[in-house]
Amino acid sequence: MSLPKTALAGETGATPMGCGATNTVFDFLLPGAPNQLEPFLARTASQHIFYSHVTRGLLSQALDGGLEGNLAESWTVSDNHTRFEFRLKKAKWSDGSDITSADLKKTFEAGKHAGATTHFDFRDIKEVGAKGDHIFWITTKTSSPGFLRNLLVPETGVLSEVSIKSKKIEAGQPTSGAYRISSWDGASVLLKANSYFEGSAPESPTCLRLANTSKEILSNGAHFDLAWMPSNMDIKSHEAVMALGKVEKMEPPIAFTYFIAMNPDSKSLVSKACRTFIQSLLSPAKFDPASFGPQYERARQLYQHDGAGRPSKTWLDSFWKSVEETGAAKACAPKERVRLAFSSVNAFHVDIEKRLRDAGLNIEPVAWANSAEYVKVASNPSSYDMILLNNDYSGVELLENLIVSFNPQRPYIKLAKGSPIHQMMTKAKAATAPSERYPLYEAVAKTLLEEARIVPLAYEHILLYKAKNIDVSKLSVVSPDLRMWRVSVSK
């Protein structure tokens, strides 16, 4: 397949040197250009996409949903699920040097210093070790039946010693993934195919450019091959993009849930009656997020509505009816200060804040600008009362997503010390079969609603714009982020 030459708005359109005579430059626009090479701090989808191109891990998810070796040729697990040993394939860095077990050891040791990351808690690891160049092992502090699947996340991709020390995006540093870093200007990063990487599809482009996008860039007619729809994309801007006649809209089955999480340590929200009142203000009967953008759908629970381990429609109907009845009274203290934390502002966020203010709540915004600031807010129980977040709950197997949600160092949902969800999660982690975890997932979802600890707001579907002359059906490498979310992209 030959991909056409493309250029971002304001560029000359010239193909960078080394990108092939057939102009195989693939422009992928993302909400936030990569700005560092430190997977342990990755929180945004854009960062994960970048890392999935330049790093590779021990394991990958097979197309049938199972596990397959990536750097690992084979692996063994102890009977008590505390020791995991991997025999590595012969693989090379982008500079031609061998990837060895010592490189894995250094990467995981650096992760242990990072502690609990967004998708992986390195604190669960007791020890890592290397034997020769091709044997790497990990021991965990407790029995971890689901540990192998946890290794699928970008945070566990192997890094070179240069990258671990510099943490910067720099041309020429060795990478383990399908692409190497060619250049970075602060707004975009140009990646070139790693000639030492085995497994790239023949159709994969020689060069891949990851650049920042916005609704203004898209609606003004910027050229691209694939673009991630920004979360603040309103209906008018979306219609302007489609009216240009150059792109098609793709809807892979990926979605995030927007929700408000209540801080159990908040003095303002200590009353369940007050929390139920807030649930009623933003209940599905009163709040329709679809009016703010083509990507939003009304939510009634934390998880996406399709799949195992969800509360039934009958249960949800009954629950929200009771919220409407019991939450009708203004149960929060008059003019009580309520600090609402969030990361960005769009019409969706503005409407939520207005509804809360109109109901008499004294809303004080608390914003964060980057991952480091978010960690400070989320890990400090005295810094917020409610926090507006989104996370992926679209899979059938939800264990990884819930571990992320209740991560004590950077919690999406902070749990009270005596919450029964602690015990539910302990049982879910110990269960060896997904079917054993499904009833626990349902119990977690119901408990969060019944204790009025969350207000589910909207499902934000991940929408992509694709240039009409691009066939992405075989580009498994150019968009490994979509495989990370267990889907395949077709035209």
> Do 86 and 214 lie in a common domain?
no
33 vs 146 pLDDT, higher one: 146
Instruction: Give me the residues paired with residue 25 across strands.
Output: 207
In this prediction, residue 327 carries a pLDDT of 76
DSSP SS3 for 249: strand
Q: What's the CATH code of the domain at 179?
A: 3.40.190.10
Q: What's the CATH code of the domain at 149?
A: 3.90.76.10
In this prediction, residue 7 carries a pLDDT of 35
Q: Is the pLDDT of residue 219 over 60?
A: yes
Q: Where are the beta strands (DSSP E) in 263-394?
A: 296-298, 337-342, 362-367, 386-392
Spatial distance between the Cα atoms of 350 and 371, rounded to a whole number of angstroms: 22
DSSP secondary structure string, 150-196? HTTSGGGS---HHHHHH-S--TT----SSEEEEEE-SSEEEEEE-TT
- pLDDT one-digit tens code per residue, 117-146: 777 888 889 999 999 999 999 999 988 887
User: How do 226-228 and 337-342 pair as beta strands?
Assistant: unpaired
What is the arithmetic mean of pLDDT over 207-219?
A: 87
In this prediction, residue 299 carries a pLDDT of 92
Residue 414 structural domain: 255-461
Longest dimension (CA), the chain: 69
Q: Which of 142, 158, 174 is the last residue of a domain?
A: 158
Spatial distance between the Cα atoms of 70 and 178, rounded to a whole number of angstroms: 12
- pLDDT tier for residue 11 given thresholds of 50, 70 and 90: very low
Q: What's the CATH code of the domain at 442?
A: 3.10.105.10
> Do 426 and 327 lie in a common domain?
yes
Q: How far is CA 215 from the centre of its chain?
A: 21
- Number of domains comprising the chain: 3
DSSP SS3 for 242: helix
- pLDDT tier for residue 18 given thresholds of 50, 70 and 90: low
In this prediction, residue 310 carries a pLDDT of 93
> Do 314 and 434 lie in a common domain?
yes
Q: Which of 99, 128, 158 is the last residue of a domain?
A: 158
Does some domain include residue 439?
A: yes
Q: Is the pLDDT of residue 17 over 90?
A: no
Q: Is the pLDDT of residue 5 over 60?
A: no
What is the arithmetic mean of pLDDT over 32-61?
A: 81
- pLDDT tier for residue 370 given thresholds of 50, 70 and 90: low
DSSP secondary structure string, 373-425? HHHHHHT-TTS-SEEEEEEE--SS--HHHHHHHT-SSS-SSPPPTT-THHHHH
Q: What percent of the chain has pLDDT over 70?
A: 87
- pLDDT one-digit tens code per residue, 378-416: 778 788 999 998 888 877 788 888 988 898 777 889 998
User: How do 296-298 and 454-461 pair as beta strands?
Assistant: antiparallel
In this prediction, residue 483 carries a pLDDT of 44
The residue whose two tokens read 């626009």 is 29
- pLDDT one-digit tens code per residue, 419-447: 999 999 999 988 878 889 999 999 999 99
Does some domain include residue 107?
A: yes
Instruction: Give me the residues paired with residue 184 across strands.
Output: 189
Cβ neighbour number for residue 113 with a 10 Å cutoff: 9
> Do 46 and 187 lie in a common domain?
yes
What is the arithmetic mean of pLDDT over 330-334?
A: 75
Does some domain include residue 13?
A: no
Spatial distance between the Cα atoms of 302 and 295, rounded to a whole number of angstroms: 17
User: How do 179-184 and 67-69 pair as beta strands?
Assistant: unpaired
Sign of the C-alpha dihedral, residues 109, 113, 116, 117? negative
Q: Which of 99, 133, 158 is the last residue of a domain?
A: 158
Distances (CA, A) of 433 to 90, 252, 405, 437, 439: 33, 27, 21, 7, 12
Does some domain include residue 491?
A: no
Does some domain include residue 68?
A: yes
> Do 286 and 138 lie in a common domain?
no
Instruction: Give me the residues paired with residue 366 across strands.
Output: 341
> Do 359 and 391 lie in a common domain?
yes
> Do 417 and 309 lie in a common domain?
yes
Whether the CB-CB separation of 371 and 418 falls below 8 Å is answered with no
- pLDDT tier for residue 21 given thresholds of 50, 70 and 90: low
- pLDDT tier for residue 474 given thresholds of 50, 70 and 90: low
From 340, 333, 341, select the one nearest 360 (Cα to Cα). 333
Does some domain include residue 376?
A: yes
Does some domain include residue 392?
A: yes
Q: Is the pLDDT of residue 269 over 50?
A: yes
Instruction: Give me the residues paired with residue 104 across strands.
Output: none
- pLDDT tier for residue 479 given thresholds of 50, 70 and 90: very low
Alpha helix stretches (DSSP H) within 29-117: 45-54, 101-114
> Do 356 and 478 lie in a common domain?
no
> Do 398 and 306 lie in a common domain?
yes
Does some domain include residue 9?
A: no
In this prediction, residue 198 carries a pLDDT of 81
> Do 272 and 352 lie in a common domain?
yes
- pLDDT tier for residue 293 given thresholds of 50, 70 and 90: confident
Q: Is the pLDDT of residue 480 over 50?
A: no
Max mean pLDDT among 53-67, 312-326, 336-350, 467-481 falls in: 312-326
**What is the helix (H) or strand (E) element at residue 354, kind and residue range?**
helix 347-358
255 vs 239 pLDDT, higher one: 239
Mean pLDDT, the chain, rounded, equals 83
**What is the helix (H) or strand (E) element at residue 288, kind and residue range?**
none
- pLDDT tier for residue 488 given thresholds of 50, 70 and 90: very low
Burial grade of 306 (CB within 10 A; 0-12, 13-18, 19 or more):
exposed
> Do 370 and 388 lie in a common domain?
yes
Q: Is the pLDDT of residue 99 over 50?
A: yes
> Do 328 and 266 lie in a common domain?
yes
- pLDDT one-digit tens code per residue, 34-43: 777 888 877 6
From 228, 182, 185, select the one nearest 207 (Cα to Cα). 182
Whether the CB-CB separation of 37 and 24 falls below 8 Å is answered with no
User: How do 464-467 and 337-342 pair as beta strands?
Assistant: unpaired
- pLDDT one-digit tens code per residue, 175-194: 999 899 999 888 889 999 89
Q: Is the pLDDT of residue 102 over 90?
A: yes
Spatial distance between the Cα atoms of 478 and 394, rounded to a whole number of angstroms: 22
27: left (phi over 0), alpha (psi -120 to 50) or beta: beta
At a CB cut-off of 8 Å and minimum separation 6, what does 127 contact?
Answer: 138, 139
Distances (CA, A) of 253 to 67, 83, 393, 394: 20, 35, 11, 8
